[in-house]
Amino acid sequence: MQAGKPVLYSYFRSSCSWRVRIALALKKIDYDTFPVHLIKDGGQQFSEEFQTLNPMSQVPALKIDGVTLTQSLAIIEYLEETRPTPVRLLPQDPKKRASVRMISDLIASGIQPLQNIAVLKKVGQETQLTWAQSVIGSGFRALEQVLQSTAGKYCVGNEISMADLCLVPQVANAERFKVDLSPYPIINRINKTLLTMEAFQVSHPSRQPDTPPELRA
């Protein structure tokens, strides 16, 4: 790995890692990937080496500018504050910025953690699918309602924001858990629009260094 180049500790399928990969792509930041397999060896995130980087034993972690940052939204906000160009991920207008943070939190705190690997393990194999469908469904019902008042082309108006970086990975999770997306036309429309963009494609789980051959695109 090149000295001084940012390093992203990531798992190809982690939606939190994917949010940060999209931000790095939009900001045109060149970085190295250090894969952390969340299943293999009982979960490589629990290794002593990784726990020194992130005591929460979660991906992503980003080494950049001499610091190690964890928590995807904190990482994205840091990238926005230190590298506001070429694409802004938080609007200048305080009300719009609050809407972006509100939607990002709705997904990152209100949906994703309830269906992540750690929770699904506790729920048990037999009920994992119905549990994930239930928590994503209730979250998406709320999100669809919020988007009715905030959305333009994207989640908040017509500019890409941190909210969109949270939306796309969560829709991918929903699809993985076979959630019926037909009741959520706004979520669907925004997701399809975003997936046509290069930053969302190069960061996609099917195109990562640690993507298994059978899942590669």
Segment 42-55 mean pLDDT: 73
- Could you tell me if 58 and 46 are in contact, meaning their C-beta atoms sit under 8 angstroms apart? no
Reported as a single tens digit per residue, the pLDDT across 163-214 is: 999 999 999 999 999 999 999 999 999 999 999 999 999 999 999 998 999 9
* 94-200 has the same fold as 7-86: no
Task: Please tell me the distance from the alpha carbon of residue 11 to that of residue 214, in angstroms, as a whole number.
Answer: 16
Segment 28-47 mean pLDDT: 81
Q: State the alpha helices, DSSP H only, in the chain.
A: 15-26, 48-53, 72-82, 94-110, 117-123, 128-150, 162-176, 185-194, 198-202
What's the gap between Cα 100 and its chain centre?
Answer: 14
Fold of 94-200: Glutathione S-transferase Yfyf (Class Pi); Chain A, domain 2 (1.20.1050)
**Mean predicted lDDT score pLDDT of the chain:** 92
Decide yes or no: CATH 1.20.1440.230 for domain 7-86. no
Q: What is the pLDDT of residue 66?
A: 95
Segment 91-97 mean pLDDT: 97
CA quadruple 127, 56, 90, 80: dihedral sign: negative
Reported as a single tens digit per residue, the pLDDT across 113-152 is: 788 777 888 888 888 999 999 999 999 999 999 999 999 9
Distances (CA, A) of 19 to 24, 33, 144, 182: 9, 14, 20, 24
Q: Where are the domains of the chain?
A: 7-86, 94-200
Q: Does residue 56 carry a pLDDT above 70?
A: no
Segment 97-109 mean pLDDT: 97
Q: What is the pLDDT of residue 37?
A: 72
